[in-house]
Amino acid sequence: MAKSKNRSNLPEKAHFLHLLKKSEFNVPDFIYVPASNFRSRDFSALETFFVDHCESFKVIARSAHTQEEYFKGGTFDSLETYADVAGIEYARKRIITFGNTAKRLSIMRQQEFNHAPEIDFEEMGLIIMPFIDGTSVMAKMLGDEWEFGYSGDRIHKVQSDPFITKTPHDRRLLEVSVEIQKHLGLQCEIEYIISTDGEIHVVQAKDISNIEVLHHEESKRSIKLDGIRRIRKRRNYRERPVYVMDRRAFYIDLISACEDMILDSKGPKTTIDDILDVKTSYEEELKRFALRHERFAVLGLSIKVPEDLHQMANHYLDEFPEMQKQLTQELHNHLYQIDYFLAEADTLITKDKIHIDMCTHDAYGIDSIRNPLWSVYWKIERHDQVVKEFKRLGFQTGDSLGIAIDAEEKPLVYRL
């Protein structure tokens, strides 16, 4: 985890941007605001920056924690916000909130598997830049070749999926990348924004020199699915421990607990706490699984809850309005816990139209080299048949599965 530093306690992100700006690379005007300035409410330099460098009312606030370099790219957020002190304070508060909620499981997993340090969010600083509309491009050198990952912009009505190429749209992008890596003296991942006029803006550089990048059989217990969505196509096989998600079964268990309370069945009386324990136990199971396996697959037999069960669970206790209100709120919060868990899987196996929504780092960040995200799917019209087949083959949470992709991009999934 240790890295060599000589930067007067600046976060890596701010340090590299200062070096590149000083050497006249095309880095947008920016200011680093440390956590101490937020505590003392010393915003004089920030206000001067707004006056001198922000013609637009909008800026981008990028996370800049002093320990951020020890975490995967994309762990901490960047937000568009208004070019005023209130907007920046709001952005920082949101970034910290995301770190304690939506990104909490991701952070815990990195601490468990990658030995990332404990982090104090009150030490969160920010880098502020004028907002630039355009296309995001991420560049890195793998072996002796450069690759460039493009994400869509928000300018055009017709959008394209993220893609990776070794031939950038503008040769200057390759030339600048080579110069930046040579100037910094280490292997790095560089993020650019290509503005609508074609100008190449350097907005971030990350040291990836300590990240190792490395350049298998079928079974009778297998099932052929219909397709796979992935950005990187270098490998056609992977093995993963699997979590079998059946939220239909979860809702039936929850409704059964509600029924026990309503009917006042014999034995110990069921209470609202017993009902909520069904949800809590399920979420604890997700958390334990995520912290036990660094990389894992989710087999989604039922991820989206059937509408009839959703309505039943949210109205079963209508005769007890306060308890129903409590249950409805807990089920609402439960949706977020499901999203946080799914966001940690690098392999999602489910019916078509349910797949991983990939951000820039997910699609082509350095951490995607060895472990790109895969969305393996079956066609909706085959859903009942495929679910029945998975159950017949006995797939259970904790099993290991293999995925082999043939020449026609058809995945074969089987138990190991």
The tens digit of pLDDT for each residue in 93-145 reads 999 999 999 999 999 999 999 889 999 999 999 999 999 989 999 999 887 78
Please report the pLDDT score of residue 216 as a whole number.
33
- Range with the largest mean pLDDT of 26-30, 147-151, 314-318: 26-30
- What is the 3-state secondary structure of 62-120? EEEECCHHHCCCCCCCEEEEECCHHHHHHHHHHHHHHHHCCCHHHHHHHHHHCCCCCCC
Beta bridge partners of 243: 298
Q: Are 113 and 102 in contact (CB under 8 A)?
A: no
Looking at per-residue pLDDT, the higher value among 355 and 126 belongs to: 126
Q: How far is CA 83 from the centre of its chain?
A: 27
* Residue 149 scores a pLDDT above 80: yes
Q: How far is CA 240 from the centre of its chain?
A: 18
Please report the pLDDT score of residue 24 as a whole number.
93
- Range with the largest mean pLDDT of 327-336, 368-377, 402-411: 327-336
Whole-angstrom Cα distance, residue 329 to residue 1? 40
Most distant pair of Cα atoms in the chain: their distance: 78
Q: Are 348 and 401 in contact (CB under 8 A)?
A: no
Mean pLDDT value across residues 9-18: 93
Q: 244: how many CB neighbours lie within 10 A of its CB?
A: 20
Looking at per-residue pLDDT, the higher value among 300 and 234 belongs to: 300
Whole-angstrom Cα distance, residue 302 to residue 307? 12
Tokens at 180, concatenated: 């930046």
Closest to 77 measured CA to CA, from 98, 58, 56, 57: 98
* Residue 364 scores a pLDDT above 60: no
* Verdict on whether the full-model pTM lies above 0.75: no
* Residue 13 scores a pLDDT above 70: yes
Whole-angstrom Cα distance, residue 62 to residue 335? 27
Closest to 59 measured CA to CA, from 130, 115, 155: 130
Percentage of residues in the chain with pLDDT exceeding 70? 87
Tokens at 21, concatenated: 């700006």
Place of tokens 């956590």: 35
pLDDT, mean over the chain: 86
Please report the pLDDT score of residue 95 as a whole number.
95
Helix or strand holding residue 405 (H, E): strand 400-405
Could you tell me where the DSSP H helices lie in 228-359?
A: 247-263, 272-292, 307-313, 321-344
Please report the pLDDT score of residue 221 as a whole number.
65
Please report the pLDDT score of residue 4 as a whole number.
46
Place of tokens 């992008």: 173
Q: 104: how many CB neighbours lie within 10 A of its CB?
A: 13
Closest to 140 measured CA to CA, from 179, 181, 171, 169: 181
Q: Are 395 and 244 in contact (CB under 8 A)?
A: yes
Q: Are 360 and 190 in contact (CB under 8 A)?
A: no
CB-based burial, 217-240: b 16+ in 10 Å, e otherwise: eeeeebbebbebbbbbeeeeebeb
DSSP states along 207-238: E-TTS--------SSEEE-SEEE-S--S--EE
Beta bridge partners of 415: 401
